Amino acid sequence: LRDKYLGLIADAADEAALEELRVQAVGKKGEVSLQMRELGKMSPEERQVAGPKLNALKDEINSALAAKKAALEDAALDERLRTEWLDVTLPGRPRRAGTIHPISQVSEEVTAIFADMGFSVAEGPQIESDWYNFDALNIPSHHPARAEMDTFYTHREEGDNRPPHVLRTHTSPVQIRAMQAQGAPIRVIAPGRVYRADYDQTHTPMFHQVEGLAIDRDISMANLKWCLEEFVKAFFEVDNVELRFRASHFPFTEPSAEVDIRCSWEGGTLKIGEGDDWLEILGSGMVHPKVLEAGNIDPAEWQGFAFGVGIDRIAMLKYGIPDLRAFFDSDLRWLRHYGFAG
């Protein structure tokens, strides 16, 4: 029995086989255990000889099992060490970090510059009712400005006579929402996406604006001019800027002005603040009394200015990008070329 089990234990291939042998030999119904049970039938003399022998055999088998188990574990560990290794001296695989899109970056810069001047951020929906996008801004149903805007309308089921919603054509509806929500005095800017059915080198059907609105008891065009000058200096990082206020017309401001900045395009590179060219960057004016009324603000007591800047436009200027459409192509080579992606 001894030779049989010691041999089998030595040859056991794994821990499961070892456990089976343990049960067979020294388990409750194992061969050694059964022989021990026979001791009771023996004479005392016989028992004195056989008893210690069987006990010693049981101990010997148990320690052989334990020794073999330890040996198997060692072998398994050696095998893992041999096959599962890692060369910590290998160079790491480079992983490109994500980056902020230039439009988001510029939008955040603009927000930060106006935040320094006391403006907080307001928001509105991109799918807007035509009341907020037009009527409240003094653009009634048959006003030519509606046709000029190349508006995207949402679909209405046949027989549904409610006016369709629109994809907002500018951020100006946020003026109304902010006035209604906060009342006067108010100083907000509203960056966001806007939509017009237009597509060429300098127009995409989706683009970005930042709306500005400041209402108080005695705000004037002079405050508007100062704010915009401060903004342009900070944004383009130049000390000298020259702004040109061109008389213009928007239904929601009176008087209205479009603002150009002096620049030059010598050799295809843009310089801000010098040269003989003028680049339009925004529309602005004093908020029309009807617009204040739509925002539940009394025009007898309050007045202020508003402006709308094209974010994509000023991003193109700042980074010297000739084609607006490239911003929205998600072409990593282009983004990397301009330093916008890692």
User: CA gyration radius for the chain?
Assistant: 42
Q: Which is nearer to ligand PHE, 57 or 311 (CB)?
A: 311
| Three-class secondary structure of residue 270 per DSSP | coil
Give yes or no for residue 191 binding ligand PHE (CB under 6 A). Answer: no
What gap in Å lies between CA 264 and CA 334, rounded to an integer?
24
Give yes or no for residue 302 binding ligand PHE (CB under 6 A). Answer: no
- Nearest approach in angstroms of CB 308 to ligand PHE is 3
Q: Which of 68, 165, 170, 187 binds ligand PHE (CB under 6 A)?
A: 170
Q: Which of 172, 195, 235, 341 binds ligand PHE (CB under 6 A)?
A: 172
Q: Which is nearer to ligand PHE, 5 or 284 (CB)?
A: 284
Which range touches ligand PHE (CB under 6 A), out of 17-25, 139-147, 180-188, 280-288? 280-288
- DSSP string of 88-124, one letter each residue: TTSPPPP-PPP---HHHHHHHHHHHHHHHTT-EE---
- Nearest approach in angstroms of CB 116 to ligand PHE is 21
What x-and-dash track marks residues 202-241 binding ligand PHE by CB under 6 A?
Answer: ----------------------------------------
Q: Which of 186, 306, 314, 317 binds ligand PHE (CB under 6 A)?
A: 306
Q: Are strands 271-272 and 166-167 parallel, antiparallel or unpaired?
A: unpaired
CB neighbour list of residue 208: distance below 8 Å, 6 or more residues apart: 103, 107, 191, 192, 193, 194, 310, 311, 312
What gap in Å lies between CA 305 and CA 154, rounded to an integer?
31
Residue whose token pair is 């200027």: 317
- Nearest approach in angstroms of CB 284 to ligand PHE is 5
Which range touches ligand PHE (CB under 6 A), out of 29-37, 80-88, 263-271, 305-313? 305-313
Q: Which of 103, 284, 288, 324 binds ligand PHE (CB under 6 A)?
A: 284
Count of residues making up the chain: 342
To the question of whether residue 266 is assigned a binding role by annotation, the answer is: no
- Residue 19 phi/psi, 5-degree rounding, is -65, -40
Give yes or no for residue 285 binding ligand PHE (CB under 6 A). Answer: yes
Give yes or no for residue 251 binding ligand PHE (CB under 6 A). Answer: no
- DSSP string of 278-289, one letter each residue: EEEEEEEEEEPH
Residue whose token pair is 């915009």: 228
Q: Which of 32, 122, 308, 340 binds ligand PHE (CB under 6 A)?
A: 308
Which range touches ligand PHE (CB under 6 A), out of 45-53, 125-133, 219-227, 302-310? 302-310
What gap in Å lies between CA 262 and CA 327, rounded to an integer?
24
Among residues 225, 235, 234, 229, which one has the least CA distance to residue 285?
A: 225
Residue whose token pair is 């342009």: 232
Q: Which is nearer to ligand PHE, 192 or 308 (CB)?
A: 308
What is the Cα 27 distance to its own chain's centre?
Answer: 64
What gap in Å lies between CA 326 and CA 196, rounded to an integer?
18
Q: Which is nearer to ligand PHE, 191 or 308 (CB)?
A: 308
- Nearest approach in angstroms of CB 246 to ligand PHE is 12
Residue whose token pair is 């988001």: 104
Q: Which is nearer to ligand PHE, 119 or 250 (CB)?
A: 250
Residues lying near ligand PHE in the complex (CB under 6 A) are found at: 170, 172, 250, 253, 283-285, 306-308
Annotated binding site for Mg(2+): 254
